[in-house]
Every structure is written in structure tokens, then in C-alpha cells.
Amino acid sequence: MANVSFTQAQLDSIISAINSRIKSSLLGAVNGVATLDASGLIPTSQIPTAMDDVLEYATLATFPATGVSSKVYIDQATNKQYRWTGTAYTLLSGSALTSDSSTKLTTARTITLSGDATGSVAFDGSANVSITVVIADDSHAHTFSNLTSKPTTKGGYGITDVYSKTETDALFTSAVITALVA
């Protein structure tokens, strides 16, 4: 047999590969490493039950004769979901099962606003809706700076018992002249 020589780097690489190898006692063991079956899949016995609650079959006819009540069974041909009742498979819902295929709510709803802002609209999920809103008079307040249409005259403010600038100027002038003459 011939002598084989390795560099230190090659030896370190071999030692690292050996140390990083998974021990066979950990394969498929609790707190170990899951294995793969002949199909390249993790066996269901090594999958936690929370991840194995949904089982898919080609058709309802191919479901197991006796199901498990904690599982959901999917008929891939119809995409319907079933649950085992203990004696038979029962359809979970006769309507759409996902938001991807849902087109309308089973029961239409009315969305209503109440209080100082009122309005309502029927909603069945088949289309977007808008609500016409009515705001009650005197139900809210604004600061003057928030007003978009500000009055420019005393009448615009609803003031009717004051003198105008012209009237005030005339009265002031008259009073000054009277005081100077007297």
C-alpha cells in the first residue's frame, strides 16, 4: 500500500466533515433530525401534529374509510374541505372556502353610521361600496382658521347693528368738527 500524504488544510477539512456528520442515533429521533422516505418526503410520523392537520386526497372517494376527528380532509378534485364526525365525512362549508375563490358573502350585511354622522349601505362582498354621509347641524365646531369660505362683510358675519367704516368715519369727522367749533 502506498503512502498518502495530506496537507494540514486537507486534514482540517476531513476532520470538519467527520465532526459535522449527523450521528445515526439522531435520525428520526425525538429532538433529532427528520429523515426522508423513498419519495424524498418527511414521513408523517416525524411531522408535528400541528403541521399535519390537513390531509389532501385526489377525491372524496379516496379518503380513508375511517377518518380522524382532529384532521381536515381536502378533496383535490373539488377543493372542498371535510371533517370526520366519528361516523362520516361532513362538508365544512358549501360556499367558497378561501378568499381567493370567494365572490359574495353568504349573508349580506348593512353597514350603518350613527350619531352626528349618519348613513348606511348594503354590502354583500361582490363589489366595493360607498356610504353617503349626512352630518347633523350644530354637531361639531371648527376654528376660524379652518373655514374655507370666510365672510368679508359685517352682513356676512350676520352682524346688522353696527356702523360701517364710511358711517364711522362720517360720525368721527362730525364729532371732531363739532368739538373744534365749540
46-73 residue pLDDT tens: 776 655 588 899 999 999 999 988 888 9
Q: What is the pLDDT of residues 5-52, one digit of tens each?
A: 778 888 888 888 777 777 888 888 888 888 888 888 888 777 766 555
Domain boundaries, the chain: 36-102, 109-174
Residues 104/125, Cβ–Cβ less than 8 Å = yes
For residue 101, pLDDT beyond 80: no
> In the structure grid, which three cell numbers stand for residue 64, read together?
380513508
> In the structure grid, which three cell numbers stand for residue 53, read together?
392537520
For strands 117-123 and 109-113, give the pairing: antiparallel
Residue 102 is predicted with a pLDDT of 60
> In the structure grid, which three cell numbers stand for residue 129, read together?
361600496
Residues 118/133, Cβ–Cβ less than 8 Å = yes
CB neighbour list of residue 68: distance below 8 Å, 6 or more residues apart: 84
Cα(37)–Cα(20) distance, rounded to whole angstroms? 22
Residue 11 is predicted with a pLDDT of 82
| Residue carrying the nine cell digits 449527523 | 22
For residue 93, pLDDT beyond 70: no
Edge to edge, the sheet with strand 72-75 lists 54-57, 72-75, 80-84, 89-91
Q: What is the pLDDT of residues 135-175, one digit of tens each?
A: 888 777 777 777 788 888 878 888 888 888 888 888 888 87
| Residue type at position 69 | S
> Where residue 3 falls among pLDDT bands split at 50, 70, 90?
confident
Q: What is the pLDDT of residues 126-135, one digit of tens each?
A: 888 999 999 8
Work out the mean pLDDT of the chain and round it to a whole number: 82
CB neighbour list of residue 2: distance below 8 Å, 6 or more residues apart: none
For residue 79, pLDDT beyond 50: yes
Of 23-27, 107-111, 115-119, the poorest mean pLDDT is in 23-27
Residue 94 is predicted with a pLDDT of 55
> In the structure grid, which three cell numbers stand for residue 78, read together?
373539488
